[in-house]
Amino acid sequence: MNDTNINNETQFNFDFVKSVARIACYDDFKAAPRVTVIEPAPTDEFIMNLATATYEQSKTLGGKIPFTIIKEVSENFIHARFQEMTISIYDEGNTIRFADQGPGINDKDKVKMPGYSSAVEPMKQYIRGVGSGLPIVRDYFEEKHGSVTIDDNVQSGAVVTISLKRSNEDGREMVEDREIPTHAPRYDNTVQTGVAPELPPYQQQGFTASQNLNQAPNYNQQPAYQQTYQQPVYQQPGYQQNNYQPPQPFAYQNQQPIMMGNGGRAPMYAPMPAIPTISDKGKQCLKALMNGALGVSELNELTQIPNSSVHYELKKLEEAGLVEVTVGKKRVLTQAAWNILDFI
């Protein structure tokens, strides 16, 4: 590092991050991502907020990358002086990409080896600065058969991508021991000599392969699972029987359907999870905590609930197993809370 770079590093204020970071969370690449903005803050607080929000959004999608690994990579933004930080989360939360527009990384192999570091003294108040961060990350993903890649950004800066995706023997993508579906199930429509192709279930129930766009489908024909059940005919004494069938009551109240995607088969229903008693103020606190780790004063600012009431509600939510204390006495949602948010 030359004298000019040293002067630039020492003149930069590492005590406070003036930039914002953006976290883009993708359900899939066919729709725009949900974007979360991490506001400027003191450096240690900013790094913790960034890592916590990234971890929670990854976990919401089903990701399995640990918080400690995400924090190790987040700390590397200090080498870029926190310039134009963007984090992208996809592959069901199991791939996270950290991009910046700082000076970049010249030797992308050495940076994964212990002892190689560009950290200067002002940085070491907030990171270890001994060249151990990315080697720890590399070892974790090697053990999990994942990957760590480092690339140049479009004009300047670096892009670090960590992923638990790997390929099995058939070349299909896996996360640890779970296969990731890459497309919807397809039916084999190969025509063999003298054999008519087998139709998928949705074509066997009222549709045929010969129908064209100008021919209306037979919507009056009930699927097989509805035809097997006949509502009993009510008979009232003294009245003429006219085969009236009263409407069938809805049998799945308080349950969420799990759509099977099996070409018209009946949906299955999962029982609603047990929900503890939660006050309206408690629900407001849970909704606010969906944005990430928050302290009492931050919850007060977001919900306009008095601090004393916030303390009381957080105590009740902790007893119910819905929130837990994290670094800096802030609260985060537990998995039990994420499981019931859609129901409350």
pLDDT band at 107 (very low <50, low <70, confident <90, very high): very high
| Beta carbons of 59 and 93 less than 8 angstroms apart | yes
User: What does the pLDDT read at residue 40?
Assistant: 96
CATH code of the region 280-343? 1.10.10.10
- Number of Cβ within 10 Å of residue 82's Cβ equals 23
pTM of the complete model: 0.50
Q: How many Å apart are CA 113 and CA 110, to the nearest integer? A: 5
Q: In residues, how long is the chain?
A: 344
| Beta carbons of 306 and 300 less than 8 angstroms apart | yes
Residue matched to tokens 């040293």? 6
pLDDT band at 85 (very low <50, low <70, confident <90, very high): very high
Question: What is the token pair recorded at 163?
Answer: 């992923």
User: What does the pLDDT read at residue 274?
Assistant: 76
More confident of the two residues 272 and 339:
339
124 CB-near residues (< 8 Å, 6+ apart): none
User: What does the pLDDT read at residue 174?
Assistant: 59
pLDDT digits (tens, 9 = 90+) for 192-220: 444 454 555 444 444 444 444 445 445 45
CATH top-level class of 3-179: alpha beta
Is residue 163 classed as helix, strand or coil in its secondary structure? strand
Domain assignments of the chain as residue spans, ordered by start: 3-179, 280-343
More confident of the two residues 128 and 253:
128
Question: What is the token pair recorded at 300?
Answer: 């007060």
How buried is residue 199: exposed, middle or buried, by Cβ count under 10 Å (0-12/13-18/19+)?
A: middle
More confident of the two residues 50 and 238:
50
| Beta carbons of 270 and 256 less than 8 angstroms apart | yes
The answer, yes or no, to whether residue 21 has pLDDT greater than 90, is yes
- Number of Cβ within 10 Å of residue 302's Cβ equals 16
Tell me the mean pLDDT in the region 132-158: 95
The answer, yes or no, to whether residue 18 has pLDDT greater than 90, is yes
In percent, the amount of the chain with pLDDT more than 70 equals 66
Closest listed residue to residue 23, CA positions, set 95, 73, 76, 96: 96
Q: How many Å apart are CA 125 and CA 119, to the nearest integer? A: 11
Q: What does pLDDT average to over the chain?
A: 77
